[in-house]
Amino acid sequence: MTETINQKFDLRKYSRLVSKVAPPLVINTKEELERADTEVGRLLKKGYNNLSVEKKRLLALLSRLIEDYEDRTFLTATLQRRIVARRLERVYNLACSTNQLARFVIFGSFVTAKHDPNDVDIFLLMEDAFDTNQVTGEAAIIFDHTATQNIEGASVFWIRRMAAIGGEEKAMEHWQIKRDKTKRGIVEVISDDQERSGT
């Protein structure tokens, strides 16, 4: 989460925001998790790019607290959540095996505090040169929505970069909108290779 150069961070504004939200130093209970998750949803409702620098920092803090809680509690996750996590990892590995994956985004109940998500919802942004006719073996399954749902237990949606009307960021923002027009959280998976290359 980077801040634009023209926005200056105001420590007093940030302190007032933190004081108002009063996040715990560490999330230890489901109630604290739900409260933090609700606050993240409230902030994202306005759209990330519309937030002040101070609100972006608060969002980063809350997101980190939630992430830390999830890291600590994942070992005690329900069997269903562990099964869905394995499905997610499999789809990610298959998508990466094409060498044409540009972005990998997870949304839906898996990225919430829901203990027993039914499946995992995934959006793939593929490189323009990607051709499903060139994909062979198991990886071909994930580019057939119905087959992926039936075989892998995942809902996978995908487009090529050139098909992203309004650009990539607009495509990403689309997956934040729920059917009732409210915003939801999404998680983008970034590989170590992408971080090193800056893509």
Q: What is the mean pLDDT of the chain?
A: 84
First to last CA, the chain: 15
Residue from 193, 27, 22 nearest 104 by CA: 193
Task: Please say if the pLDDT value at position 4 is more than 50.
Answer: no
Say yes or no to pLDDT of 172 above 50.
Answer: yes
Q: 79-126, pLDDT tens digit by residue?
A: 788 788 888 999 999 999 999 999 999 998 888 878 788 889 999 999
Q: Are residues 82 and 158 in the same domain?
A: yes
Last residue of a domain, one of 50, 75, 100: 75
Q: Stretch 35-42: mean pLDDT, rounded?
A: 85
Q: Which domain holds residue 68?
A: 11-75
Which span out of 3-17, 26-40, 69-83 was modeled with the highest average pLDDT?
A: 26-40
Q: What is the mean pLDDT of residues 62-89?
A: 79
Q: What is the DSSP letter of 110?
A: G
Q: Residue 4 domain-assigned?
A: no
Q: What is the pLDDT of residues 117-169, one digit of tens each?
A: 888 999 999 999 999 999 988 899 999 999 888 888 899 999 999 999 888 88
Q: By CB neighbour count within 10 A (0-12 exposed, 13-18 middle, 19+ buried), where does 94 fall?
A: buried
Say yes or no: 128 and 67 in one domain: no
Domain boundary among 49, 75, 101: 75
Q: Are residues 28 and 99 in the same domain?
A: no
Look at residue 1 and tell me if it is in a domain.
no
Structurally, the chain folds into a number of domains equal to 2
